[in-house]
Each structure stands twice: as C-alpha cells, then as structure tokens.
Amino acid sequence: MKVSYYPGCTLKTRAKNLEDSALAAFKALGIEYQELDRWNCCGAVFSLADDDLIHMVAPVRDLVRAKQLGAGTMVTLCSMCYNTLARANELMKHEEVKRKTINDFMNEEPDYFGEVEVVHFLSYLKNQIGWGALKSKVQSPLGGLKIAPYYGCTLLRPKDVAIDHPDSPTLFREFVETLGGEVIEFPSSTVCCGSYQALGNPEAALKVSFDILSDAVSRGADALVLTCPLCDYNLGRRQDDMLRKYEGAKDVPVLYFTQLLAIALGLSQEVCRFELNRSSTARLLKSRNLLAGVKA
C-alpha cells in the first residue's frame, strides 16, 4: 500500500535524524512511500483565530499536493506538522463556508474537500502495520532500557485530531513495549514543552522543560523519547542551559521515536544520525550494548 510522505522543513535540516531513521524504517517495514514532489512549510502552527483563513492556505496547499499525487494517506513524522495539517484537513472536511473561501482564494489549485487522510507515523504503525507484525521484525529488542515516552501537546490535542485518548494515551507505551523497552510512565508526558515560548520567553520555556525532564528522571527514566523537533529543541538542545542554571540538573539522553525504531529493527547506525542528538544519547545506547546489534 502506497502512501505519500510529508517531511516538514526542519526534518530536512536540524532534524535529519528524525527523517533518516524514519525513511530507513519505512523501507525495512516495506512501506511504499513517495515524498510530495512539491511542498511548502505546513504553516508551523495552527492558527486559532476564527477568521484567520490565510494561515490555512499553507497546510491546505500541501494537502492538495498530496491529493494530486493520488495517495489517499499522507504520513507525517513531526507532530507539529501533523497537528497543523490534520486540523486544516478537518476544517476542509467539515466547515463548508470556510472551505469555499479557501478554495476560491486558491483558484489556481483544484478544489479540496478533505479527501486526504493525514496520519502520524505512530498511528500508522499501530493501525496499518500492527504491533504484532512490528514485533516480528524487531531484531535488537531494547531490553532493559527505561524509556519515558513524551507526547507533548500536538499529538493529543485537540480531541478531533488526537492520535489517542487525550488524557490517558497508551499508544506510545505500546510502541515502546513492542520494541522491547521498559516504559516509565510520568505525569508530565503530555505537558507542553514550552513550544515557541523558546523564542519569546526562553526562560519560561526552559523552566517548563526542566520540570518535564526532572519528572521523568525522578521516576527512573534512562532516556526520553519524542516525536517533534521543537520539543527536541526545548528538551534536548537546551539542556546545556539547564545544566548551567539549575542545580542538580542531569544530562538526559533524548531521542526520536524513529531512532528507537531503527535501532530495534537492527538498522545501520548511520541512518540514526546520533551526532544530531545530545552526546549522552549514543553513550547510553552504547553502554547498554544497544548499538552492538546494529549493522555497522
């Protein structure tokens, strides 16, 4: 079954580790995909103003491109892109007046009615591949690794695009368990990382992210796994600021769910591109011999 694939801008630069590990996993799992031949930024964030339709144009144009490609399903990896695209898609499906305004404005494109299904790769793994089938492909189970799965906000809110139950999600837990990891549940797993406050109010964002990491570590997590480059920025890259600012701050390995998947599938270390993660990430995996089973 062929799907179209929407990468998102950051995945082509800073988050190459998210994309490369995912594409290798697609291949290993036999997922036929085609990257959109033309695409633009998804809009980066879904505009909440009721009449701010101009900000729907970017995600809708991507959806039109997916429709033109002829694949019914468009898979995304970044949860922020997922959220923006899926919500724009919902709007185009259900809000007739706005849909008409947007279609009229984009008169150079074919009309769009929400025909494409926007799917996050985690959902795709559960619903299209199935945990059983995935498990059968695992070559290097993550035995013993204690992993705190971090959803953040955009996979679960609002309800109509949530990939799982917004208050008590289990999807990420199932994913980690399928790969043979030990799941560390922690209350902050659905708390916002601070998001774009990293630009406007970096101190506030730092505090929120520090609290999330502390929560996970206090419950015994070896590493945090996530789905979004912006979360990775706040929770991963900014740990250097935390280590300077907060007494008792610890260096916590942070990695993308697709990197975890690639390791478990026994894919080459190259596709994981751990050089883009905190150095503690590769150190941890090495110390647990999890890179040993990985093909060189």
Binding site for other proteins (CB under 8 A): 7-13, 38-41, 43, 54-55, 57-58, 61, 105-106, 108
Nearer Cβ to other proteins (40/279): 40
Question: What is the helix (H) or strand (E) element at residue 76, kind and residue range?
Answer: strand 73-76
> In this structure, what token pair is assigned to residue 285?
């995996």
Tokens 């990468």 -> residue: 7
Nearer to other proteins, 29 or 57 (CB): 57
Cis? peptide before 158, omega within 30° of 0: yes
Q: Phi and psi (nearest 5°) for 147?
A: -120, 130
Q: Minimum distance from CB of 76 to other proteins (Å)?
A: 14
CB of 67 to other proteins, least distance (A): 16
Distance CA 66, CA 173 (A): 30
The least CB distance from residue 124 to other proteins, in Å, is 22
- CB-based contacts of 234: which residues, under 8 Å, 6+ apart? 193, 194, 195, 198, 205, 206, 208, 209
Which is nearer to other proteins, 36 or 75 (by Cβ)?
Answer: 36
What is the smallest separation between the CB atom of 277 and other proteins, expressed in angstroms? 19
Backbone angles phi, psi at 76, to 5 degrees: -125, 160
- Distance of closest approach, residue 267 Cβ to other proteins, in angstroms: 24
Rounded CA gap, 42 and 20, in Å?
20
- Tell me the closest approach of the beta carbon of residue 111 to other proteins, in angstroms: 15
Which residue is it, tokens 């690794």? 145
CA distance 219 to 194: 21
Nearer to other proteins, 194 or 229 (CB): 229
Helix (H, G, I), strand (E, B) or coil at 95: coil
196: nearest Cα among 187, 186, 209:
209
Smallest gap from Cβ 208 to other proteins, in A, equals 23
Reduced to 3 states, what is the DSSP secondary structure of residue 73?
Answer: strand
Identify which of residues 63 and 255 has a Cβ nearer to other proteins in the complex: 63
Query: Of 13 and 127, which has the nearer Cβ to other proteins?
Result: 13
Q: Which is nearer to other proteins, 47 or 178 (CB)?
A: 47
